Each structure stands twice: as structure tokens, then as C-alpha cells.
């Protein structure tokens, strides 16, 4: 078959990254975690000593940062997720990251991208769009387990509060807010194992290609 672009969107810790990786492996497609791009901008801002709310500095950073400079280890922490959602609300940051995401999606065989606005803004023409959700409590439990595994001292209540704040910021911003595309299929992973969610995701894509 021809090109296949798969857009996977959803809130923090919904399981979208895991599913996007599984889809990429299943279809033999390259995968881009677009959240990492926003995390890199946030990391570069903090490393340079800028105030995370400084939109002028963020615009300079987004047009000059080195994508290869950050080991993933330095991008996955709690503080960076929070900072990423602050810079992600800035139109100049979103505009600065748009081209590289579109270029990734334009590869000959297609690609899998995950994020918040892949189906709505980055790849509106993608035939297969998933919007992955889970309850805030389930997402908090998953993220808590992940952060504890990384050795961070976090509480479940603290993580739940983070998740609610990040949801509000990502859904409430005016530029590319988190929302399901009209033609996306919603997959609620709250009560599903990874295997169950992965086969449901493949089933959804099969119905669209
Ligand atoms: O997915 P992840 O938690 O790594 O994303 C970090 C932050 O980056 C999100 O909270 C969101 O604000 C932002 N983001 C975005 N658009 C994307 C991917 C991530 O606004 N496509």
C-alpha cells in the first residue's frame, strides 16, 4: 500500500506515546514524539537561564536550538513537562516547530506522529487519527509510576494536580488547543492493558487506510 500517516493525539500520560510506538513498529513507519520538541525548547530556555514565560527569548531559542543536544534523560522529568506546556502556549514557539513536524510527516512511506495537535493542525489530511484518553486518576497513576521509576520524589496527589493543571493549560490555550479532530476516533485506555489498547489502535488504523 501507499503512504500512511497516523496522527496520535491526547493528554499527558494517556498512553498515546506507547500506542504510537506500537503502531510505528507494526507498520514499519518512522515515529516522532512531538512533545519532545516542546520539551527541548523548555530545556534550552532553562539551561540558558531564561524565565520560562519570556516569549521573546523563547522565539530566539526555538529558531536556534540544537535538536541533538539533549539526552532524553534530561527531557523526561516532571519540571520539564510543566515548562514545556508553558512554552507550547506561545504562538511563535508553535510556528517555529511546525515545519520540522510537517517535514517528518512527509517522508515517502509516511510516519506516525504523536502530540496534541497532529490531527488538527500538523497533519489535518492524515487518513488515520486517534485521540487517546484515560481518566485523570489513571493517567496520574501511570505517570507516578514512571517518575518513581526515574527516582523522582513525587506523590500521587501532586502528580494528579500537575495533570489537571497541564490539561487545563493545553486545552485552554488559543493556539492549537488540545482537542480531538472531528474525524479522529477516540480510544479510552483507562480500563485497557497495553496489549488490548494496541490491538484496538491497529483495528482503528486498519479501518481508515
Ligand atoms: O507529550 P508531552 O507530555 O511530552 O508534551 C509536553 C507538553 O508539550 C504538553 O503538555 C503540551 O503543552 C506540549 N505539546 C504541544 N503540542 C504537541 C506536543 C506537545 O503543545 N504536539
Strands across the sheet with 4-9, in order?
Answer: 31-33, 110-115, 4-9, 128-133, 185-188
* pLDDT at 2 (0 to 100): 77
Grid coordinates belonging to 32 = 516522532
Q: Which residue has the cell 527531557?
A: 75
CATH number, domain containing residue 86? 3.40.50.300
Closest ligand 1 atom to 39 CA: 6
Range of the domain at 157: 4-206
- Average pLDDT of span 96-119: 97
By alpha-carbon position, which residue is closest to atom 4 of ligand 1? 35
Q: In degrees rounded to 5, what are phi and psi of residue 186?
A: -85, 130
Q: What whole-number percentage of the chain has pLDDT above 90? A: 97
Of all protein residues, the one whose alpha carbon is nearest to atom 5 of ligand 1 is 35
* pTM for this predicted structure: 0.96
Looking at the 3D structure of the chain, how many domains does it have? 1
| Residue 87 CA, closest ligand 1 atom number | 12
Task: Please give the Cα distance from 68 to 40 (Å, whole number).
Answer: 9
CA–CA dist 149, 41 (Å, integer): 25
pLDDT at residue number 1: 56
Pocket of ligand 1 (CB under 6 A): 12, 34-35, 38-39, 81, 84-85, 88, 115-117, 166, 170
Q: 100: Cβ–Cβ under 8 A, 6 or more apart, which residues? A: 37
**Runs of H (alpha helix) within the chain:** 16-27, 35-47, 55-62, 78-87, 91-105, 136-149, 156-172, 194-206
What separation in Å is there between the alpha carbon of 19 and the centre of ligand 1? 16
Residue nearest to atom 10 of ligand 1 (CA): 85
Q: 184 Cβ partners below 8 Å, 6+ apart?
A: 7, 9, 119, 129, 130, 131
Residue 84 to residue 147: CA distance in whole angstroms: 17
Q: Cell numbers of 125, please?
A: 489530511
Which cell numbers in the block locate residue 169? 493549560
Of all protein residues, the one whose alpha carbon is nearest to atom 1 of ligand 1 is 35
11 appears as a binding residue in the annotation: yes
Instruction: Please state the atom number of ligand 1 nearest to the C-alpha of residue 16.
Output: 1
Tell me what the pLDDT averaged over the chain comes to: 96
48-67 residue pLDDT tens: 999 999 999 999 999 999 99
By C-alpha distance, which of 14, 23, 6 is closest to 171? 14
Coil, helix or strand at residue 196 = helix
Give the 3-state secondary structure of residue 208. Answer: coil
Amino acid at each position: 500500500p501507499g503512504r500512511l500517516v497516523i496522527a496520535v493525539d491526547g493528554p499527558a500520560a494517556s498512553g498515546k506515546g506507547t500506542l504510537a510506538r506500537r503502531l510505528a513498529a507494526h507498520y514499519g513507519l518512522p515515529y516522532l514524539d512531538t512533545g519532545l520538541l516542546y520539551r527541548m525548547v523548555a530545556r534550552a530556555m532553562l539551561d540558558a537561564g531564561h524565565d520560562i514565560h519570556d516569549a521573546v527569548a523563547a522565539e530566539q531559542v526555538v529558531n536556534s536550538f540544537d535538536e541533538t543536544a539533549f539526552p532524553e534523560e534530561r527531557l523526561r522529568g516532571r519540571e520539564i513537562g510543566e515548562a514545556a506546556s508553558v512554552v507550547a502556549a506561545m504562538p511563535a514557539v508553535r510556528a517555529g516547530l511546525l515545519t520540522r513536524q510537517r517535514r517528518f510527516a512527509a517522508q515517502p512511506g509516511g510516519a506516525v506522529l504523536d502530540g496534541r495537535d497532529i490531527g488538527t493542525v500538523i497533519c489535518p489530511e492524515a487518513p488515520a487519527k486517534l485521540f487517546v484518553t484515560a481518566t485523570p486518576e489513571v493517567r496520574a497513576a501511570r505517570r507516578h509510576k514512571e517518575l518513581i521509576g526515574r527516582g523522582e520524589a513525587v506523590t500521587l496527589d501532586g502528580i494528579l494536580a500537575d495533570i489537571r493543571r497541564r490539561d487545563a493549560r493545553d486545552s485552554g490555550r488559543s493556539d492549537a488547543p488540545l482537542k480531538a479532530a472531528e474525524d479522529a476516533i477516540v480510544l479510552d485506555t483507562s480500563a485497557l492493558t497495553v496489549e488490548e489498547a494496541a490491538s484496538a489502535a491497529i483495528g482503528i488504523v486498519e479501518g481508515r487506510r
